[in-house]
Amino acid sequence: MMKKLALPLIAALPLGACISLGAEEPPATLFTLSAAAQPERPAPETAEPNFLTVAVPKVPAALQTLRLPVRVSATEYAYLKDAQWVEQPNRLFQRLVSDTVAAQTSLVPLDPRQTTVDPGRRLIGELLDFGLDVTGDRVVKVRYNATLAGPGSKVAVRQFAGSEPVASDDPKAVAAALNRAANRVAADVAAWVAGN
C-alpha cells in the first residue's frame, strides 16, 4: 500500500516544482488617475436632471492589463518595469471622464450599472492609446474615439488625443504625465458632450 501511494507523490514532485501558485510581488507603488477638477458630491439637484451614461471604453489587447504599455515600434509593445495601475486603464479613464463631466458641465453622469434610472444620452467609445511611446520622441499618449448617442437616434462621433513629453522611463514620471494628458482629453470630451 505504501509503495502505491509513494509512486504518485514522487511523480508529482517535478510538476509541482514547475508550477507557481503565487504571483510575482507587486510593485511598491500602484498608480491611478486623479481628476484635475473634482465634482461636487453629491451632485447638485435640478428639477430635470440631464443624465449622461458614461460606458467603460473598449480597449485593444495591449491595454487589457494592469501593466503600463510601452510602444517600442510600429509592431511591438513592452511593459514598463515596476509600473502597475490599481485597475485597468479603461475603467480609470471612465471614472476620470465621469468626474470631469460632473465638475465642468450641468450633466449628471451615470455608470452603466445604474440601470434603474433614465440612462439619458450615452457616451461610448474606445481607448486606443494609453501608455508610453518611445518610437520617436519619448511621449505618453492618450487617444479616445468617442460616440455620443442621444434621443431620437442622434449620434455624434469624434476622436480625442493628448500627449505629453517625458524625460525618462521612471514609472512615477510616466504615470504623472499620463494623468495630465488624460485630464486634458477628459476636459475636451466634457466640453464636446456639453455642446452636443
Domain that holds residue 186: 50-195
pLDDT tens column, 142-170: 999 999 998 777 899 999 999 999 999 99
In a domain, 57, yes or no: yes
In a domain, 157, yes or no: yes
Distance CA 108, CA 130 (A): 26
pLDDT score of 25 more than 80: no
Q: Give pLDDT, residue 33.
A: 81
Number of independent structural domains in the chain = 1
In a domain, 92, yes or no: yes
pLDDT tens column, 49-59: 688 999 999 99
Q: Give pLDDT, residue 129.
A: 96
- Contact by Cβ (8 Å): 103, 183: no
Which comes out higher in pLDDT, residue 77 or 151? Answer: 77
pTM: 0.80
Q: What percent of the chain has pLDDT over 70?
A: 78
**pLDDT band at residue 24 using 50, 70 and 90 as cut-offs:** low
In a domain, 33, yes or no: no
| Set of cell numbers at residue 194 | 456639453
pLDDT score of 20 more than 50: no
pLDDT score of 18 more than 60: no
Distance CA 131, CA 69 (A): 5
Which CATH number does the domain housing residue 185 bear? 3.40.50.10610
In a domain, 23, yes or no: no
